[in-house]
Amino acid sequence: MKVPFHRVDTSGNELRYLQEVLESGWLTTAGRCFDFEKSFAKATGARFGIAVNSCTAALHLACEALGVTRGSEVLVPTLTFTSTAEIVEYLGGRVRLVDVDPTTGLLTPALVESALESHPSISCVMPVHFAGRPCHMRGPAGDPGIVDICAARGVAVVEDAAHAFPARHADGSMVGSAIGSAATCFSFYANKTITTGEGGMVTTDDEELAERMRRMRLHGIDRPAWDRHRRGGTSWEYDVVAAGFKYNLSDLAAAVGLAQLERVEESREARARLADRYRDRLAPLDSTFRLPLGTDVESHHAWHLFVAHLRKSSGIDRSRFIEAMTEREIGTSVHYKPLHRMSHWSRSCLDDGGHEPRDLREEFPAAEAWYEGCVPLPLYPSMKDSEFDAVCAAVEESVHACRQPVRRP
Ligand SMILES: *Cc1c(COP(=O)(O)O)cnc(C)c1O
């Protein structure tokens, strides 16, 4: 690939901090992890950060702590990665998929309200801040957000913020702060805005919730090894107070995370500048592409993804377009094939008792349109001018190539 879809940036203190951990002789969860939790909580304005080994683990812990259990119904947008939904089934709950807003790909208060009307047994809602653009979570008065609607009905909210670090809500507070919801989950997977290789974080302001998640991330043990180690004395003594999980983050991973955090704001600004440049440069292709909206204030968007959309009226087939881009050695990707198109989730959608067989594509028209047209373009701070130009030239050429009639043998 001339321009890969993503390139990891470890140009800061990553190596130095890793070496310090290696030399310290304590590789698993301890001081570096707690430093990372504190710094991350500070960066999002949350009281507590609980570091875990993936965002999937964070989502699982948050839903468990908020009481999702056997028989619970949980609302999940169909335009997301399978993690958001699968953890509901870990807990014995049932996933209700819902369509998204056609322009932003986000869950909206209106969509949540109508889903809660039709399915009053839903006890938890999981908004996904897709591409790094935050969902509308809270007021002002007269314009209730997802949390306002859920709070009025006693429904819990867990945010999937795997794409949204760092991002801000419309009132200026960070995604991850308590303005959003009780628990917000972040991903440090290799292609996310910051990475620890594999890793995740859940933020909350609720002390009891934090304590439950902290305990459950390490086997339900009341006094973890690092604590016993620190206090000395009867260091072997501990109790298991619940059947927990093995979700803790190592100090090795946290060391990388701390180095990544140091550059997080400059890296967000670099992505936002690239997003602006794409919008300027591709504006002449307006009849072919719909480009992603910014937010009122640009600093509100994390710009994890820049998803251009082929307009239906362009007559260009998305798969053919991606082939043309690949021929020109430009990395693209599809975010996402909606969950209702996956065999497991489609079965679970259809298995709701007594309905005639039906076409799920008609049930999720916005996510379908999103999927059919989406062309995410490379967007990362280390992108050079020459690479940016190569992507834009390839887009122009590919549009041209796809307009040619297909030659048949
Ligand atoms: C990447 C991603 C996840 C999962 O993150 P992991 O850290 O790999 O578990 C969950 N939700 C969304 C929307 C994602 O993009």
How do residues 117-131 score in pLDDT, each as one tens digit?
999 999 999 999 999
160 C-beta closer than 6 A to ligand 1: yes
Residue 110 CB neighbours (<10 A): 13
More confident residue, 187 or 360: 187
Give the per-residue pLDDT at 80.
98
CA separation for the pair 395, 377 (Å, rounded): 9
pLDDT at position 231 is: 62
Q: Which residues contact 269 (CB under 8 A, 6 or more apart)?
A: none
Rounded Cα distance, 233 and 384, in Å: 56
Ligand 1: centre distance to CA 60 (Å): 12
Question: What is the model's pLDDT at position 46?
Answer: 97
pLDDT at 355: 64
Farthest-apart Cα atoms in the chain, separation: 80
The pLDDT value given to residue 403: 87
Please, what is the average pLDDT of the chain?
A: 93
Cβ of 84 less than 6 Å from ligand 1:
yes
Per-residue pLDDT averaged across 190-210, rounded? 97
Q: What is the pLDDT of residue 223?
A: 79
Check: CB of residue 156 under 8 Å from CB of residue 123: yes
Q: pLDDT above 90 covers what percent of the chain?
A: 85
Rounded CA separation 246/253 (Å): 15
The answer, yes or no, to whether residue 7 has pLDDT greater than 70, is yes
The pLDDT value recorded for residue 175 is 97
pLDDT at residue 83 tops 90:
yes
Which one is catalytic: 192, 312, 337, 384? Answer: 192
For helices 82-90 and 55-65, give the axis angle rounded to 10 degrees.
Answer: 40
Dihedral, CA of residue 333, residue 85, residue 156 and residue 41, to nearest 10: -50
pLDDT at site 408: 61
Q: In this predicted structure, what is the pLDDT of residue 325?
A: 97
Q: Is 83 in the pocket of ligand 1 (CB under 6 A)?
A: yes
Residue 55 beta carbon below 6 angstroms from any ligand 1 atom: yes
Band (234; pLDDT cuts 50, 70, 90) = low
Question: What's the rounded mean pLDDT across residues 308-321?
Answer: 95
User: Quick check: helix, strand or coil at residue 201?
Assistant: strand
Q: What is the rounded distance in angstroms from the CA atom of residue 46 to the CA atom of residue 202?
A: 10
pLDDT bin (cut points 50, 70, 90) of residue 102 is: very high
141 pLDDT band (50/70/90 cuts)? confident
Mean pLDDT of 208-224: 93
How far apart, in Å, do the first and last CA atoms of the chain sit?
A: 29
β-pair type (156-160, 122-125): parallel
Report the residue among 187, 188, 256 best suited for mutation to probe ligand 1: largest number of ligand atoms under 8 A from its CB.
187
Residue % of the chain over a pLDDT of 70: 94
What confidence tier does 393 reach under pLDDT thresholds 50, 70, 90? very high
**Whole-number pLDDT of residue 327:** 96
Told to judge if 312 belongs to the known catalytic residues of this protein, a careful annotator would answer no
Q: How many CB atoms neighbour CB 278 within 10 A?
A: 22
Distance between CA atoms of 163 and 168, rounded to whole angstroms?
12
Q: What separation in Å is there between the alpha carbon of 57 and the centre of ligand 1?
A: 10
Among 24-33, 76-85, 216-225, 287-296, which range has the highest average pLDDT?
Answer: 76-85
According to the model, what pLDDT value does residue 228 have? 66
